Amino acid sequence: MTAPVLVTGATGNTGRHVVAGLLAEGIPVRAMTRDPERAALPAGAEIVRGRTTDPEDVAAAAEGASAVYLVWPGTDDEAEGAAEVVEALGGRVPRVVYLSAQGAEEGGVWGAVETLVRRNVPEWTFLRVSGLATNTLLWVEGVRRGVVEEPFGRARRSLVHEKDVAAMAVRALVDPDHVGRAYTVTGPESIGQAEQVRVIGEVIGRETRWVEQSPEEARDGLIERVGEEFADQILSHWSANVDVVEPVSQDVPRVLGRPALTYREWVGDHRADFAPEG
């Protein structure tokens, strides 16, 4: 019997697509989630209860697995608690595919976790994502009002569809050719945030405007939604992308053999998320 692949963060933006992609290839899946009763994952997945931040939960879920898709939920630069979790994986599985981020080579939480994985796991692949297009769901309320008020409308991002991230993860989990690789995972274009809002309006058929907001005003709202530390990281990144355009990588088309999905395609897949409530 083929050993299962453990998917952490199995009900998250990328995790549920990784589960579906592995099952579609006939690979057994063990999906770890904090709330199995509400997981709503595809039939055929073995669902286990657990938290990615708990080494004992991870150790139990990893027993007998052939590989792990690792999503670390922390944002602190020291990656507190990650060492124990990665050590638990290193003693049980030969391969880890880690959802990382661009800039990991410069440090921060993603760099810290990459270092731990390299140190403890024989086979690894890093998916250094530019930014998930799903992060623009933070604008849902503004889109429903027809006005998105945020700073740095000229910041150009190469946002990636979560389906492309998952497809890259599936390839790395099942194909040994990707061992020891750090891929830069982006969308096929760099487009400004104000332009993203225009695209949303076009796709959903409702006029939506971008209104430039000061970073100071935006910070308070972001803190309410994502917390102070992550809010400051977001604003810093947006500010940098005004002058330095987020690069577009060819790693997705090289690995998948097709073009990366566009932001417009992502909006089409999420049209219902932007629909008015009620």
Task: List, for residues 175-202, the tens digit of each pLDDT value.
Answer: 999 999 999 999 999 999 999 999 999 9
* DSSP conformational letter for 41: P
Q: What CATH architecture applies to the domain 5-129? A: 3-Layer(aba) Sandwich (3.40)
DSSP letter, residue 11: T
Q: What is the DSSP annotation of 152-190?
A: -TT-EE--B-HHHHHHHHHHHHH-GGGTTEEEEE--S--
Flag whether pLDDT at 212 surpasses 90. Answer: yes
For domain 130-161+186-247+257-278, say whether CATH 3.20.20.140 is its number: no
Task: Please check whether residue 31 is in contact with residue 46, taking contact to mean a CB–CB distance below 8 angstroms.
Answer: yes
> What pLDDT is stored for residue 210 in this prediction?
97
Domain boundaries of the chain, sorted by first residue: 5-129, 130-161+186-247+257-278
| CB-CB neighbours of 218 under 10 Å | 19
The mean pLDDT of 260-272, rounded to a whole number, is 98
Fold matches, 5-129 and 130-161+186-247+257-278: yes
Tell me, letter by letter, the H, E, C secondary structure of 73-139. Answer: CCCCCCCCCHHHHHHHHHCCCCEEEEEEECCHHHCHHHHHHHHHHHHHCCEEEEEEECCEHHHHHHH
In the chain, the percentage of residues whose pLDDT exceeds 90 is 81
Q: What's the pLDDT score for residue 278? A: 66
Instruction: Give me the residue label for tokens 């050719």.
Output: 177
**Of 99 and 74, more confident:** 99
Over residues 237-256, the pLDDT tens digits come to: 778 878 778 899 999 999 99
pTM over 0.85: yes
What pLDDT is recorded for position 232?
Answer: 83
